[in-house]
Amino acid sequence: MPITNAISIEIPRISILDEKGNFDEKLGKGLIPDADLLKLYEAMSSCRHLDEVAFRLQRSGRMGTYPQNMGQEATSLGAAYVLNNDDWLVTCYRENCGLFWRGVPMESILLHWMGDERGNAMPRPHFATPIAVPIGTQMLHATGLAWAAKYRGEKRISCTFFGDGATSEGDFHEAANFAANLDIPVVFCCQNNFWAISVPGKIQCSAPTVAQRGIAYGMPCMQVDGNDIFACVYAVKKATERARAEGKPSFIEFVTYRLGDHTTADDARRYRDQAEVDAWKAKDPLIRIRMLIEKRKLWDDAKQEAMMARIEKDIAAAIERAEHIEAPPRSDVFDYTFEELPADLRTQRETFETTSLGQERASNPASA
């Protein structure tokens, strides 16, 4: 028998607004109204400024290690713009822009990196999960959330974010396998920023695209210019429409770049060429939008100055709230662990001592 072709694969690449400000009027028509585009620009600018302020907070000892988002703001923001309010947004740790658009208070993110666990209690009803620092675990959570919604007959879907390095984790493969085989409405969003901390993408994946890893599980896949807010919105819109209509997952590879270090504990100069960083700075998602809104006569220097004044005021207020939040009672370590506290732990909570001496004092105050 002759050899035949078992499968032919095509992965579309989406680009609408390029780094030179060129805009595809056909693909981009009606995708983002001008009024919304200005709001998205301000949201990205606010997230970028927070990165700058957070860097100074960490360096001055007012906050722990912090991962900057700069350069990757368009991906999560584009998704948050498209998702319904009751869809799940399941992030890792570089999706502040999307979380803020959903209404998560800025101080929640600050509290997390300041070491206050209350920063992980995402306020309801924002349908956002806590920041996931372990690489890849959140993809399983997203699949489970969407599976539960499907089981209950709800139309809610989930959208999860992860890096290119996370696609080498077993968690990704398990989540993708479950979602594809059981028809679970999840949008898998890979932020391919070319670096898994200090490991380059070419070592992580030998395929021409990371998107091909989604193809292996039978998911429709797209590769997207992740620094193009219009392309991000376009791709997530297509994926969410499919998830709602067919109840099936999709995989989107957002090609982007982290302009800063992996975290404030990292020094990317040790492993990245400055020429590479400079080349990606020219593809900055913020610069693109600024060029477009100026071309459309929607923006000028006066509006930029007024916007930055608002942003600086809002961020200063968020820092004030985070740094001056009332300290949690020490009893929280007991109260949020057990539904009914055992007697010995109840004694520990009351005395904050674990020794027999402490317990004796609690049971016989006269002996104290």
Catalytic residues: 258, 262, 271
Q: What are the helix (H) ranges across 270-300?
A: 274-281, 285-295
Q: Which of 1, 27, 7, 8 is nearest to 16 (CA)?
A: 27
Judged by DSSP in three states, 131 sits in coil
Using the structure block, give the residue that is written with the tokens 């791709």.
235
Judged by DSSP in three states, 83 sits in coil
Strands (E), the chain: 13-14, 88-90, 158-163, 186-192, 195-196, 199-200, 221-225, 250-255
User: Contact 67/131 with Cβ under 8 angstroms?
Assistant: no
Cα gap 179→190, rounded to integer Å: 15
To the nearest 10 degrees (0 to 180), the angle between helices 73-82 and 229-246 is 40
Q: Kindly tell me the burial class for residue 235, based on how many C-beta atoms sit within 10 Å of its own C-beta (0-12, 13-18, 19 or more).
A: buried
User: Contact 54/63 with Cβ under 8 angstroms?
Assistant: yes
Judged by DSSP in three states, 163 sits in strand
